[in-house]
Amino acid sequence: RRRSRSPLHRRRTRSPSNERRHSRDSSRSSDQRRYTRDSKRSRFCSSRDRASRSPERRRQSEVGDNEVSLNVELESPRNSRCSNSPDLLRSHSRASFKQTSRSPDYRSLASSRKSSRSFSPESLNLKSGRNSYISNSRKEKAATTERELLLEKWRMNYCANTAEMQKKLEELAKMKPEEIVEHEKKVWTRTAPADLYYARDEKNHKVMKATPRLLALCERFHDELVSRAEKVRTARPKYEPPPRKNRMRLAKHKSEMCSSSDSSSEESSTDEEDCTMEELERKRLHPYRLHPEMWYNDSGEMNDGPLCCCSAKARRYGIRHGIYAGEGHLPKCNPDTNNADRLYHYRITISPPTNFLTKIPTIIKHDEHEFIFEGFSMFSHFPLDKLPTCKVIRFNIEYTILYIDEKLPENFTIRELDLFYDYLFCELLELVDLDFKAHNDSTGCSLFHFMPRFVRDLADNGKEILSMNEVMYYLIVNSNPLIEQVKLKDLLAMPQFKWQNFADEVKGMVVTYPGMKPCSVRVDQLDREQQKSDTLPYPEIVHFGIRPPQLSYAGNPEYQKAWREYVKFRHLLANMPKPSFEDKRKLEAKENKLQEMRTQSKMKRDVTVAVSAKGFHRTGIMCDIIQHAMLIPVLVCHLRFHRSCDVLEKVIDYKFKNRSLLQLAMTHPSYRENFGTNPDHARNSLTNCGIRQPEYGDRRIHYMNTRKRGINTLINIMSRFGKKTVTESNITHNERLEFLGDAVVEFLTSIHLFHMFPDLEEGGLATYRAAIVQNQHLAVLAKILSLEEYMLYAHGSDLCHDLELRHAMANCFEALMGALFLDGGIEVADKVFAETLFKQDLDLLDIWVNYPPHPLQEQEPLGDRKWIPSFELLQNLTKFEESIGVEFKHIRLLARAFTDRSIGYTNLTLGSNQRLEFLGDTVLQLIASEYLYKYFPEHHEGHLSVSV
């Protein structure tokens, strides 16, 4: 009866609220019924139609029907309602839908419509198209869900929530590097198949060689990506930077310099500041600069001037000039194979993973699987022994870079790795001073090759590594323009939510403008202007960067001058017994002045950059690849340094059991931040392309183990007790080893002089010893060993002069003696010291090594204890032996030690104890120095010297 009434009658008999609720419920139920009925009918008819056709015709009709029906469905006005039907189904509970479908009215209506409706071909195509569209949307949602799960697993470092993530990081901090390596070795790997691009060599089944299709892909990669910027630069007029001004310094006499030390230091600092500002202004004038607040890299240049100020002679050696001892010409690898018979493969891992698990990692979809970027694989031309752990400080966090021996992947070639290196490191990051080849070996092969690892998880703790051809194809496909001019009008007119989705796709991606300085930048935001104008404005790339320290308040001359005045006045008030009220107000005024200078926008390090998106190209590279890539130079520098240390071990004819002692002995205190390349280049690349908001650790890590000046630091360190066991120090330079090596060198010199000159008194022995252990002579010994070729020190103005360099070399030689003493004992240190001292004169070396025994030992080679019954003095000394627990073979030596010079010469002792006192002084110094070094790890050299 209700159904027979007219709609107008039904609308009049209900209240407005009930009418709205009823209409909404009825529309929902009708949509549900229509969706269920149509989907069932389309499945039934499509299956019956397919069964009646031949296989060939069936395949053609399926493709054609799907294409036509999908177009009809998308053009139909009912598409929006039908496409939203799955969402409507999800909005209702399953119980309510079952209750509605079981009602008598619903059954009668469905049966009547089923009997009265006929199935036309058009309706079948429409319904099958709707069904295929719905199934495709379901597949897309399932794939999206799989991708989201992968991202969640990546971000949380295989943990379910933040608490577990923090717990995981704490566990990794407690784990030793050896434990991390053993844990990672349990993973098994395989390579994704790529038979069209790689073929196995018939002569050597380990080697995979490139196919013509891969060579064509490499040629395309080189033309479209690697040589793109060079073509732009060639088409432009060449830019010649303005010449530098020659700065002539007036030479002064020593007395004049000493009398006006304060004024000369102020003048020199003023000259350096003026030079810095001139260099910064010189780089601002580059015509192809991307933005005034973004800094670029030039070969051999830092932001504030040339990288190297060394003399032409000094540039011929040294790790700081990229010259490593023992490196020579390395024959090139076969570029069209993976050289599996020559290379050794290692997987690089970083702990902790903070700042490397970014929010948006780089993911490549291949063969219906998601391959996520994991890090880099390293291929070395020589096997890597067990070396000290490579550690580096970034973002106030100490990272450990480990390499793990792993089975060599198959599907890659050296040509692909070289092209990827040129594209990432040279074109995008502009690390123009980075070189993995031996010095002056431009025609040779790189010592190391690196491949990006895109992996997916397999069962039983396995991983599948994506082949390199897919990585190169991914980079080519994703190199299209960031904003295409054809689509610019549609992008500016699209709704805000669609624009936001478009902007989110490139957020965190590195984009490049070929030919500009710098050419690459990280996209933090993508903004558009919707104001109507004659010309269509391109969207703007917003980048949040950091100014170089030379442009912030830390490098501002005025701020530095005000800071020095403030510190000087504060120390003056601290030493006053009772500061006056006016003095306190002056100090407060100086502090307020500093605070005002810090708040000025021109001096802040944080800067916001907005550049037009016109001319930029996508790269498909997210910040996670950049973060890993910037640590590769650090690891390479570490490995090359230890490779050169092998040469040093051959020179001294001793192989260290603990190689970290040798590394510590060669590390100068100035060597703090290690970037593996030009430090300003690394900072600029990290700022332009690295992650935007890294997680920072404790900033005290930079000076926690290096700060040693000041009365407060002295009191703090000297008040600490020693450790109960031998403890390794966290101080990462050679000053402590230098303190120990000084005692070792003095002991060795004293004992040889004591025996070689039996008639020389204490004063003469001290004079000879001072001549041997003085700093200038130790620098000569360091030069004999060529320690300047192995030293790690900062490439600054401090060690550019020969005088400072010789002093550092002398300290390094003492540290080497201390390291030899700790690793091999006093015998090893004595052997190396003697061979270095008389390396060019074998006769003197024989005299130095084969020194005669003491005269009392020469008289009685087998011992003189037989004289104890004859002398009461010797009988009394036996009681002393019992008290100290030592029995002397030559007890007359003990008697001489107790003989004062006032006694005179006797046949029993053959003299007084003055010479033994000279020798015992160095013995006590060595014993005390060794104990302080081992049990007081937090004390610096000065603190240990005070303790001695």
pLDDT score of 708: 64
Q: How many residues does the chain have?
A: 948
* φ, ψ at 619 (rounded to 5°): -125, -20
Q: What does R_g of the chain's alpha carbons equal in angstroms?
A: 39
Spatial contact of 128 and 64, defined as CB atoms under 8 Å apart: no
Residue 849, CB half-sphere, CA atoms under 13 Å: how many?
19
Instruction: State the greatest distance between any 2 C-alpha atoms of the chain, in Å, as a whole number.
Output: 144
DSSP classification of residue 792: B
Q: How far apart are the C-alpha atoms of 125 and 147, rounded to whole Å?
A: 33
pLDDT score of 71: 35
Spatial contact of 32 and 94, defined as CB atoms under 8 Å apart: no
750: closest CA among 568, 929, 915? 915
Spatial contact of 41 and 125, defined as CB atoms under 8 Å apart: no
Residue in the block written with tokens 């350096």: 272
Sign of the dihedral through C-alpha 286, 287, 292, 293 = negative
Q: How far apart are the C-alpha atoms of 864 and 867, rounded to whole Å?
A: 6
pLDDT (tens digit, 9 = 90+) per residue, 233-271? 899 888 887 777 665 444 444 344 343 334 444 444 555
Task: Please provide the DSSP assignment of 726-746 as one string.
Answer: -------STHHHHHHHHHHHH
Strand partners, 289: 517
Strand partners, 455: 372, 465
876, two tokens:
């009394």
Spatial contact of 853 and 756, defined as CB atoms under 8 Å apart: no
Q: Which residues of the chain have pLDDT under 70?
A: 1-146, 153-175, 178, 183, 245-276, 530-534, 553-555, 601-603, 702-712, 797-798, 947-948
Single pTM value for the model: 0.78
Task: Please provide the DSSP assignment of 149-212 as one string.
Answer: HHHHHHHTTS-SSHHHHHHHHHHHHHS-HHHHHHHHTT-EEEEPP-TTTEEE-SS-TT-EEE-H
CA 637, distance to chain mean position in Å, is: 12
DSSP classification of residue 829: H
pLDDT score of 554: 63
374: closest CA among 162, 167, 628? 628
Spatial contact of 543 and 653, defined as CB atoms under 8 Å apart: no
CA 853, distance to chain mean position in Å, is: 56
Q: How far apart are the C-alpha atoms of 10 and 482, rounded to whole Å?
A: 58
pLDDT score of 339: 95
Q: How far apart are the C-alpha atoms of 64 and 69, rounded to whole Å?
A: 8
Residue 872: its H or E element: helix 872-884
366: closest CA among 194, 515, 231, 596? 194
pLDDT (tens digit, 9 = 90+) per residue, 396-416? 888 899 999 999 999 999 999
64, two tokens:
């054609």
pLDDT score of 173: 65
Residue in the block written with tokens 């009394």: 876
Domains in the chain (CATH in brackets) are 175-211+311-494+617-649+673-694 (no CATH), 553-604 (no CATH), 701-852+927-945 (1.10.1520.10), 856-911 (no CATH)
Q: How far apart are the C-alpha atoms of 222 and 245, rounded to whole Å?
A: 40
Q: How far apart are the C-alpha atoms of 4 and 2, rounded to whole Å?
A: 5
